[in-house]
Amino acid sequence: MSPDESLELFPGTAPGAREADEALPPGAPLAERMRPRSLDEVVGQAALLAPGAGLRALVDAGELPSLLLWGPPGCGKTTLARLLARASGARFEALSAVVAGVKEIRGAVERARATSGDGRRTLLFLDEIHRLNRAQQDTLLPHVERGTVTLVGATTENPSFEVIAPLLSRCRVFVLEPLDEAALCGLLRRAADEPERGLGGALSVEDEVLRAMAAAADGDARRALGLLETAAAVQRQLDPDSGALGLDAVREAAGRRTLLHDRDRDAHYDLASAFIKSLRASDPDAALYYGARLLAAGDDPHFLARRMVIFASEDVGNADPGALSVATSAWLALERVGMPEGRIPLAQAITYLACAQKSNAAYAALGRALEAVERHGSQPVPKHLRNAPTGLMKQLDHGRDYESPHAAEDGFVARANLPEALAGARFYEPTERGDEGPIAERLADWRRRRDD
């Protein structure tokens, strides 16, 4: 529906605005017809809506503060906003941040002010609130503060980054989760059987078929219901006389799954975090899974390669010095052979790093050294370590008494090399794991001899 059409249907409203009890047009999609009519019909958000749970407790107490609903597509944000307005008796007005600007927001506020005389408050629903710029969000702030409108914003993005701090501080944030298989199967069963709004049992649907559709929906209720509706139409084309929905029709309707992912937002960084932490936990199966998720969603494979090179030094380090060579070789191989074959050296590096002995001692040592630099400033370099390319520098004792370890009998000179203010400081503390164990033994001996 275009913005102009919405203006004709709802005079006095802004583009994209909707009323909570708007009648559905004939032929409305199944996902629209099956929108829950009460909070009890909502599936998959028990942590918020079960009796006594956070959001449900507010509704039951007759309280409705301004709030933000954060969750992935198809988890019920818009539906929940409508139901909150209905449960609280509030006038519902919806704007989409895709088309609404300062003018539309001010118009919604004026309508709220004009209708406040009857004692009925206005719930202003802003879909995709993260798309509003700072100036547009600033426009909302005083009206939310005064209670002219109760703001319910929906976002798929982290509100910590996308909503201005003053507005965020005046809203409660509720996190909605993707629907799990059980919730989606229940929703699909209801839609398949319900005579009034659903398919009315026109096709029987086995549990196996329900699970296949739930898996293809990837946590998205809207996608699940759209898939059911399309699969039913495909089934009628494949076999008009069949009374059952088959897996072939579901596969035809589903096509290739589009994974829930973004390349520069929370979904990307959550998967990247899970990938690195699985490597660190020495879990090659989990690391392969999260690496595959990133690749399947279209992430740059070079991102994986870069992260593994960093991991090889940061988390494996001297416990297995060969890990860095494996990681850099995998990156080079990826650049030389490209994709899809580049996945093969990536898989080798993932499994090698996950199974390698781990030590962050070298990385932690640098952190301690940097702290010493910050704390002690620019300490003078001991004279025996200074460069002496000219006669004057030699006269100033630069490089004097320097002993090369190569000339020593066992390749070691027991002389302190740190500035005096840092005498005896210890930054590198190797572990006993893997190849770092022998390093720890040698270093302990050298430090004893130096202290003597």
- CATH, residue 248: 1.10.8.60
- State which H helix or E strand residue 68 sits in: strand 67-70
Find all residues with CB under 8 Å of 310, minimum gap 6, and list them. Answer: none
- 348 and 398, same domain (yes or no): no
Per the domain annotation, does 113 fall within a domain? yes
- 19 and 108, same domain (yes or no): yes
CATH number at residue 29: 3.40.50.300
- 392 and 417, same domain (yes or no): yes
- 103 and 17, same domain (yes or no): yes
Domain that holds residue 188: 181-254
- 326 and 281, same domain (yes or no): yes
**DSSP code per residue over 99-132:** T--HHHHHHHHHHHHHTGGGT--EEEEEETGGGS
Total domain count, the chain:
4
Give the model's pLDDT for residue 121: 87
Give the model's pLDDT for residue 8: 29
Give the model's pLDDT for residue 268: 77
- 15 and 37, same domain (yes or no): yes
Last residue of a domain, one of 149, 175, 201: 175
Give the model's pLDDT for residue 257: 54
Per the domain annotation, does 102 fall within a domain? yes
Give the model's pLDDT for residue 13: 38
**Residues with pLDDT less than 70, the chain:** 1-26, 256-266
- 45 and 165, same domain (yes or no): yes
- 293 and 312, same domain (yes or no): yes
Per the domain annotation, does 375 fall within a domain? no
- 337 and 422, same domain (yes or no): no
- 203 and 271, same domain (yes or no): no
Contact predicate 349/327, CB 8 Å: yes
Per the domain annotation, does 369 fall within a domain? no
Per the domain annotation, does 87 fall within a domain? yes
pLDDT per residue as tens digits for the range 166-219: 999 999 999 999 899 999 999 999 999 999 889 998 889 999 999 999 988 888
- 125 and 25, same domain (yes or no): yes
Residues facing 93 on adjacent strands: 124
Per the domain annotation, does 158 fall within a domain? yes
What phi and psi values does residue 33 have, to the nearest 5 degrees? Answer: -65, -30
- 169 and 24, same domain (yes or no): yes
Per the domain annotation, does 108 fall within a domain? yes
Give the model's pLDDT for residue 322: 95
- State which H helix or E strand residue 243 sits in: none
Give the model's pLDDT for residue 238: 85
Dihedral in degrees, nearest 10, Cα atoms 290, 294, 300, 304: -10
